[in-house]
Amino acid sequence: MTNVVSVESGAKAARAGKAISGRANALADRLEQGARALAALASVSTDAEWQTRLPGDGRKIGVVVHHVASMYPLEIQLAQVLAGGQSIVGVTPEKVNEINAAHARDNDTVTKEAALDLLRQNSAAAAAAIRALSDEELDRAAPVSLNSDAPLTCQFFLEDHAVRHSYHHFARIREVLK
């Protein structure tokens, strides 16, 4: 998946005189903290650990780290849809499963270096995009097809997806590596 958000978006907002929201900054900080924790855990994994499959999931640790990195752009793009007051349509649990399965097939041999580089790049871009959001945008709500068309705020969607994603997989990987 390509990077669809710009690392420079938060900096552009600041240069344009737009104050960075304290809430947006806190969300971005939490995303960065989770990404750093995942990167730190993954960076000390052995080659054998990198190839270990997660129980109940079946994907290799390396593939999951790359998956988190690969999903940041999409998660941010969807949050920006909500920030703009539009509904998220066509995203279903089945579609997410298809995307995840295709990613696992296409990235089965991903290297640690490639996955960690993408994680650093895409988490920085995601954090910058979050910092570019205003409180008003964070508060906007619209139906989200992934959540049975429940009207969710942009902030909730960010917390439940882009921010939480690295923490979720960090915990599962840490459990396997104990």
Instruction: Say what the pLDDT of residue 9 is.
Output: 44
Q: What pLDDT is recorded for position 20?
A: 87
Q: Per-domain residue ranges for the chain?
A: 9-177
Per-residue pLDDT of the chain (178 residues; tens, 9 = 90+): 333 344 344 444 443 557 889 999 999 999 999 999 999 999 999 999 999 999 999 999 999 999 999 999 999 999 999 999 999 999 999 999 999 999 999 999 999 999 999 999 999 999 999 999 999 999 999 999 999 999 999 999 999 999 999 999 999 999 999 8
Q: What is the pLDDT of residue 4?
A: 38
Nearest Cα neighbor of 115 from 78, 77, 61 is: 61
Token representation of residue 119: 């994680």
Name the CATH superfamily housing domain 9-177: dinb family like domain (1.20.120.450)
Structure tokens at 175: 């459990």
pLDDT, residue 164, reads 97
- What is the DSSP-derived secondary structure letter of residue 45? -
Residue 62, pLDDT score: 97
Q: Please, are residues 145 and 14 in contact by the beta-carbon 8 Å criterion?
A: no
